[in-house]
């Protein structure tokens, strides 16, 4: 009996992009089941929500297993299907930094990003004028400065070699890029250049775009 392909449940313009990138880095065979956002709410529709009780992108289906949470999916894929050298072991020198950044990407990094999103959307008062706006501004400045200081001292997030932590943190750095705020941060800009030069990253972008086009046509 043929083993079913891994299926990435993808929503356009979401953190599921980095899961596609990881699969490309690992050389895995997979398919993408893409869903579109509602043009008014900005959220995926009811079909997506029926896939999981807490439907969030990214989502992974592997046989009978359906997982959410980026970090959990990363660990699952590398534990079940091989890590291709992208995951240091406990005895490796870069293991502590690797663990930190794997969790930082969905932990400490997300708080200021979400706060800024909420204040910019006017959810706490006029954008830029609420107490939340001040907290978001300070938090984003601290986030940017911390990432820049680390990448100024080493080539990749966990040290001198590329790891899955760079895939996780790539989305965070792309937030800075997409906000048009990366120019004062040369180390982050250099990371973006290296990230975009990776063949697996380029293949991932192409696969994600193709899946979204198919969903729109369908």
CATH number at residue 59: 3.40.30.10
Of the candidate ranges 58-62, 94-98, 103-107, the one whose mean pLDDT is the lowest: 58-62
Do 82 and 102 sit in the same domain of this protein?
A: no
Q: How far apart are CA 193 and CA 7, in angstroms?
A: 29
CA angle 167, 173, 177 (to 5 degrees): 135
Q: Is the pLDDT of residue 112 over 50?
A: yes
Do 76 and 23 sit in the same domain of this protein?
A: yes
Domain count, the chain: 2
pLDDT digit string (tens) for 119-156?
Answer: 888 887 888 888 888 899 999 999 999 999 999 999 99
Q: How far apart are CA 207 and CA 211, in angstroms?
A: 6
Beta bridge partners of 32: 8
Do 151 and 181 sit in the same domain of this protein?
A: yes
Q: Is the pLDDT of residue 86 over 90?
A: yes
Do 192 and 126 sit in the same domain of this protein?
A: yes
Residue of 65 and 13 predicted with greater confidence: 65
Where in the sequence is the domain holding 192, given as residue range(s)?
Answer: 95-198
Quote the tokens at residue 177: 């890029």
Do 30 and 72 sit in the same domain of this protein?
A: yes
Task: Compute the average pLDDT of residues 42-62.
Answer: 77
Give the N- to C-terminal CA distance of the chain in Å, as an integer. Answer: 30
Residue 72 lies in a domain: yes
What are the residues whose beta carbons fall under 8 Å from the beta carbon of 47, sequence distance 6 or more?
Answer: 35
Residue 82 lies in a domain: yes
Q: Is the pLDDT of residue 28 over 90?
A: yes
Do 194 and 99 sit in the same domain of this protein?
A: yes
Residue 105 lies in a domain: yes
Confidence of residue 42 (pLDDT cuts 50, 70, 90): low
Do 193 and 210 sit in the same domain of this protein?
A: no
CA angle 143, 147, 28 (to 5 degrees): 110
Of the candidate ranges 30-34, 164-168, 194-198, the one whose mean pLDDT is the lowest: 30-34
Instruction: Provide the Cα torsion 13, 26, 198, 160; round to 10°.
Output: 110
Q: How far apart are CA 185 and CA 190, in angstroms?
A: 9
Task: Determine the 3-state secondary structure of 123 from DSSP.
Answer: strand
Helix 186-197 and helix 164-178, axial crossing angle in degrees, nearest 10: 120
Residue 147 lies in a domain: yes
Do 178 and 212 sit in the same domain of this protein?
A: no
């Amino acid at each position: 009996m043929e083993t079913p392909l891994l299926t990435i449940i993808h929503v356009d313009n979401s953190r599921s992009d980095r899961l596609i990138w990881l699969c490309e880095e690992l050389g895995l065979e997979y398919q993408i089941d893409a869903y579109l956002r509602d043009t008014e709410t900005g959220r995926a529709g009811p079909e997506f929500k029926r896939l999981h009780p807490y439907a969030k992108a990214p989502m992974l289906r592997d046989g009978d297993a359906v997982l959410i949470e980026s970090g959990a999916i990363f660990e699952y894929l590398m534990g079940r299907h091989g890590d291709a050298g992208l995951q240091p072991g406990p005895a490796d020198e870069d293991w502590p930094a690797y663990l930190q950044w794997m969790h930082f990407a969905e932990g400490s990094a997300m708080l200021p990003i979400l706060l800024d999103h909420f204040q910019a959307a006017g959810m706490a008062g006029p954008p830029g004028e609420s107490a939340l706006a001040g907290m978001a501004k300070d938090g984003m400045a601290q986030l940017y400065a911390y990432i820049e200081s680390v990448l100024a001292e080493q080539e990749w997030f966990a040290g001198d070699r590329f790891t899955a932590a760079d895939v996780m943190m790539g989305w965070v750095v792309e937030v800075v890029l997409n906000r048009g705020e990366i120019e004062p941060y040369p180390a982050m800009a250099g990371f973006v250049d290296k990230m975009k030069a990776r063949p697996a990253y380029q293949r991932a972008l192409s696969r994600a775009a193709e899946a979204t086009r198919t969903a729109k046509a369908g």
